[in-house]
Amino acid sequence: MLHRCQGGMQRLCEEGLKRLGSVKAITQIRTATKRTSGSKTNKNDSAGRRLGPKAYEGHFVNPGQIIMRQRGTVVHPGENVGIGKDHTIFALEPGYVRFYYNPFHPLRKYVGVALKKSLTLPTPHFAPRIRRFGYEEILDSSEAEKEESRMSRKEYLQRPKLEKARQESEYQDEQRLNKLVETFKEKFDLGLSESELNTVSDRFLKVCKLFSVGSSVEEAANQVTSDHILSLRLQNTNGSLSKEDMEKQVDAYLKLVNKFDGSVSVDANGNPCEKLSFSEKQSRCNEVLKTLEETYSNRVLSDEDKTTVYSLINNPLLFTKEEQTTLLDKYLPPVLPISVKDSIVEDIDLENVPNDINIVKLFDESTGTIKTVGRKKQAYSDLSKISASSY
Amino acid sequence: MLQRNILRQSVKGVRTFGSHGPQHGVWSNREKPAALKLKDEEVYRDLMNKIEPGKGPASIKNMSQRWSYHSPLLIDETFKVAYDLLEQESEKCYNRIDEIKKQLEQGSSADSSTASRLRDELATLEVDAEKFNPEVLYNVEYFPESVDRSLPVYRKYLERKWKEYDLPVTMQRLEQLHVIPDTMPTLDPKANVKVKFGHNTEPELAGWITPGRLLPSFAVSSPPTISVQEFDGINDKSLYSVLLVNPDTPDVPANSFKTSLHYGLCNISLNYVENTIKPLDLLLNPENRVFKEYVPLLPEKNAQVQRACLWVFRQEKELSNVQFSSDNFDIRAFAQENALTAVGAHVWRQQFDRSVNGLREKYGLEKGRVFHRVRRPYPLANHDD
Amino acid sequence: MFQQSRKVVIEQTGVIRDFIRHKRTSAISPSTQRVVNQLSAISATRKQPKLINLCNEDLIKHRTITNAWKLYNRKKNEKRMATLQKQYESIKNAMEDLKHTSPELYEAANKKETEKRFPIEMRIPTEYPPTKPWIYEYTHPSEKEK
């Protein structure tokens, strides 16, 4: 349409020129390209976001005060400042704003808060940090007491349970202590007075407790001694015990301990026992092991034999708990190994199995086949039954 | 250990197992410390000889597992060749050691640089001669607690083990809890420092404390047992200082913190084997060794979590009449004045709990202050100078 | 505002970062990158070599064998390196000698021979020369067929 119009216009012009003869006219045609009503692509301007620093170098800021608003981390958060989810940097401590470069990240700008006017950032790498305490003392005594007794929800809810557990353990300790005093009176000829007996029993109980959490008897005994001496010393420094009294008591305690530890020791079950010398213990251990090895190994044991073996091994004086389990596993295994020949009955009538025989399938390694054999029921042992029968 | 005794009796202490020949080599024949040998005779037998398929290895304690164990194919034949090769190498080391010892004896008046070079070579050779010995490997792998630390080869392996796990953990805690640089500027770790409070009867508090742990106050009520394991470069007369400081003691007038000293030991003689500082020993003979009696950290209510930083220093000389202020303690100045070099550190944390007041009474301290639980925005006291 | 200028800090730390207009691309090839990506998606435990369940004695035996194998290999390598070093030294000495005694021969020995090609089938550098050291009239197998 436009072309046609233009064509028509041109024709007219040419005709006009022919008529006018020598007149030369230059015609420029500008068509409308801009819509008068405008378009939506041009409406993208928004108001400024008011970005930039809100506190400058050396300004005093309070905690929470905004130091910088930015898009992305134009400036990184340094010492004593935080950063928000829109990268707003704000003060965490009251102090003076410092913009600085960090030698560990030389391409970044940092802003931080120095706690003192005279300080510069970054703080030297090996210097101690300068920190603000910020908590106020409560001077009113009743307020202070109230605050001190304040509990977290967790602590409050746990309290009855903890109290119950404490009472329970106290009760048990008392029971054990009474039992120990009686044992020492009856079974051990220590020649101690009543108060000494109480001291010694208390000490023994503490040693037992430490022994049960894995320290050696000697270590535990030393620890209990040191705790006792320390408490006497502290009584002296508090003024409730004179120096002479303290020294006297320490000496008496050390003497008593020497005498007691020379004759009483702790066995594997945490009970008092006669102290054996190292060589004596060794020889008795060896004796038991020799008996076990010579008479009770590599053969099928009768029920009486099993009880004997169990009582030989279950000797808290000679063997620790760990050694006992190892030995029991060796000499009273749940099933005897196949290498014990007399536990296996080779030719067996599967139709008519005797009562004292179990039928099992064994893998023969040499031939790579599975064979069915009978095993004597005595080759199996149940530790719980044996232990029940041995008492 | 028990089975060993029986075997000892039967074989009369002579190692004559199997056909293959460690009997002739340098590792079994030479007069050497018993600590380099494997204690358990049964394990030794299984290590040097073929493990019989039905019987199984002595190291497996569970019998049914032991009886059903199978070794990899051809491991024993290959092991025999490998053992011989390594033993020959060790023999060369021992020959060189003998040579050097002879040289050192003869030329004791020769120039000191040669002598020190020879001594260095001797130290490395002593490790090299035994580092591939399977018995040594077994001991250090399965009984690391009971190996003889006076032997350099065991120390080398223990150091490696320490650097693999315990050291990184300690350094991480020291850095992340800012023990460095709030107390000492930095630490070049040389010794494995372990701490335990032996009076604790709860299983979770007994035993060595992991660095950085938050401990209740009753768990630290009596002085700690400190183990300082050195690995190299000390003599029998090495002296150590131990400082326990709290850099988080509130300094209310300044609205800041100060450092207080809670335990100060000096002139503690330690070596590779005797490496533990025991509280009983210090209580009975404190003279010239304890310059600050132990007082546990007893944080006040709302004074937040506080760090107990334990530093172990090597001393250059014996100390006497040490000057310090335990209330406002400057650990850096103290270390510099007394020429102390930090070799190890440890840290645990504490905060107010219900056992604090009782302990304050026990230690004869006055009742602790109570702080308001809301932190105020007030600046430092002298912030504008 | 800043106490130290960026330039000073950069100079102190020695960090230089060149500006490039386009996206930074990695040096490794896309196929390698693909493998790296695939491996990164697999959890670390699955990438661990599988542990053989050995008893203590066998584990120590295994370690001893490994130690011996390492020692054996190290010695072998050391020996080989020493021989190579010796060979190189003797070649160097001979050439130096030749340079002084007869510069013409030295020139001739070092003359470039442009027509003689290195046999392209010979791919692996060997320690010793072959029995037939140099094939001067080399023809490629494909040319031979013609």
Q: What is the distance in angstroms between the Cα of C48 and the nearest Cα belonging to chain B?
A: 18
Give the pLDDT score at A2.
Answer: 42
Query: For a pLDDT cut of 90, what percent of chain C falls above it?
Result: 45
B85 min Cα distance to partner chain A (Å): 33
What's the 3-state SS for B4-44? Answer: HHHHHHHHCCCCCCCCCCCCCCHHHHCCCCHHHCCCCHHHH
For B99-103, B175-179, C3-7, C27-31, which range has the lowest pLDDT when averaged over its residues?
A: C3-7
Tell me if B156 sits within 8 A of B113, measured CB to CB: no
On whether any CB of chain B is under 8 Å from the CB of C81, the answer is no
Please give the structure tokens belonging to residue A140.
Answer: 């009113």
Give domain status of residue C37, yes or no: no
Q: Is pLDDT above 80 for C132?
A: no
pLDDT at A136 over 70: yes
pLDDT at position B2 is: 42
Choose among B92, B126, B87, B97: nearest CA to C67: B87
B109 pLDDT higher than 80: no
Q: Does A42 reside within a domain? A: no
The residue with greater pLDDT, B63 or B232, is B232
- C52, C54, C60 member nearest B141 (Cβ): C60
What pLDDT digit, counting tens, does each position of C103-118 carry?
A: 999 999 888 877 777 6
What's the pLDDT at B77? 95
pLDDT at B22: 45
Contacts of B51 in chain C (CB under 8 A): 55, 57-58
Least confident of A191-195, B243-247, B369-373: A191-195
A297 with A354, same domain: the answer is yes
Contacts with A362 (C-beta within 8 Å, 6 or more apart), sequence order: A338, A370, A371, A372, A373
Distance separating alpha carbons of residues A28 and A83, to the nearest angstrom: 62
A333 contacts chain B (CB < 8 A): yes
Average predicted confidence (pLDDT) for chain B: 89
CB of C61 less than 8 A from some CB of B: yes
Mean pLDDT score, A359-373 = 83
pLDDT, average across residues B201-218: 95
pLDDT attached to residue B17: 40
Over residues A288-301, mean pLDDT: 88
Residues A163 and A198 in one domain: yes
Give the span between the Cα atoms of B43 and B360, in whole angstroms: 53
State the total domains in chain C.
1
Q: What is the pLDDT of residue B14?
A: 40
A379 has pLDDT over 60 = yes
Q: Quick check: is C100 in a domain?
A: yes
Q: Are residues A297 and A360 in the same domain?
A: yes
Domain assignment of residue C123, yes or no: no
- Out of C55, C63, C65, the one facing B78 most closely (by C-beta) is C65
Domain-embedded: residue A37: no
- Pick the residue from chain A with its C-alpha nearest to C3: A100
B65: nearest CA in chain C? C55
On chain B, the residues whose CB falls within 8 A of the CB of C69 are 82
Residue range B174-187: average pLDDT?
96
Mean pLDDT of B102-126: 84
Residue B138: band (very low, low, confident or very high) from pLDDT cuts 50, 70, 90: very high
| Res. A151: pLDDT tops 90 | yes
Q: Tell whether A203 is covered by a domain.
A: yes
Query: Could you give the number of structural domains in chain A?
Result: 3
Percentage of residues of chain A with pLDDT beyond 70: 90
Mean pLDDT in chain A?
87
- A292 and A383 part of one domain: yes
Interchain CB distance below 8 Å, A107 and C15: yes
Distance CA A221, CA A200 (A): 11
The encoded tokens of residue A326 equal 């190892």
Residue A132 resides in a domain: no
In this structure, the answer to whether residues A309 and A219 fall within a common structural domain is: no
The domain in which residue C92 lies consists of 83-110
How close does chain B come to C45, measured CA to CA in Å? 19
* B316 vs B114, higher pLDDT: B316
With CB atoms and an 8 Å threshold, state whether B6 touches A293. yes
Residue B133, pLDDT score: 94
Question: Is the bond into C103 cis (omega within 30 degrees of 0)?
Answer: no
Does the pLDDT at position B237 exceed 90? no
**CB-based contact C65:B75 (threshold 8 Å):** yes
CA A42 – CA B3 distance, rounded (Å)? 95
The candidate with the shortest Cα–Cα distance to B216, out of B354, B118, B114, B103, is B354
Domain final residue pick, A60, A89, A114:
A114
Q: Which residue of B has its CA nearest to A131?
A: B256
- Is A38 within 8 Å of chain C by CB? no
C-alpha to C-alpha distance for A312 and A71, rounded to whole angstroms: 81
Among C50, C54, C57, the residue to mutate for chain B (most B Cβ within 10 A) = C57
For the ranges A236-250, A347-361, C80-94, the lowest mean pLDDT is seen at A347-361
Residues A59 and A107 reside in one and the same domain:
yes
Q: How far apart are CA A100 and CA A87, in angstroms?
A: 18
Interval A295-354: pLDDT, tens = 888 888 888 888 899 999 988 888 888 889 888 888 888 888 877 888 888 887 888 888
Mutate to test the interface with C, among B75, B90, B130, B136 (most CBs of C within 10 A): B75
Q: What is the pTM of this model?
A: 0.82
Out of A254, A274, A294, pick the residue that ends a domain.
A274
What domains can you pick out in chain B, each with its CATH number?
Answer: 2-162 (1.20.58.1180), 178-382 (3.90.280.10)
> What is the per-residue pLDDT for A38?
60
Q: Which of A27-31, A380-384, C35-39 has the lowest mean pLDDT?
A: A27-31
Q: With contacts defined as CB-CB under 8 Å, which chain C residues touch B89?
A: 71
Is the per-residue pLDDT at B353 higher than 90?
yes
Q: For residue A142, what is the nearest residue in chain B, using CA coordinates?
A: B370
A294, pLDDT greater than 50: yes
Strands A105-114 and A76-77: what pairing?
A: parallel
- Whether the pLDDT of residue B164 is over 90: the answer is yes
Range of the structural domain that residue A294 is part of: 278-389
Mean pLDDT check: name the lowest of B43-47, B270-274, B364-368, C114-118. C114-118
DSSP class of residue B383 equals: T
What's the mean pLDDT in B347-357? Answer: 96
Say if C139 falls within a structural domain. Answer: no
- List CB contacts (< 8 A) between B382 and chain A: 116
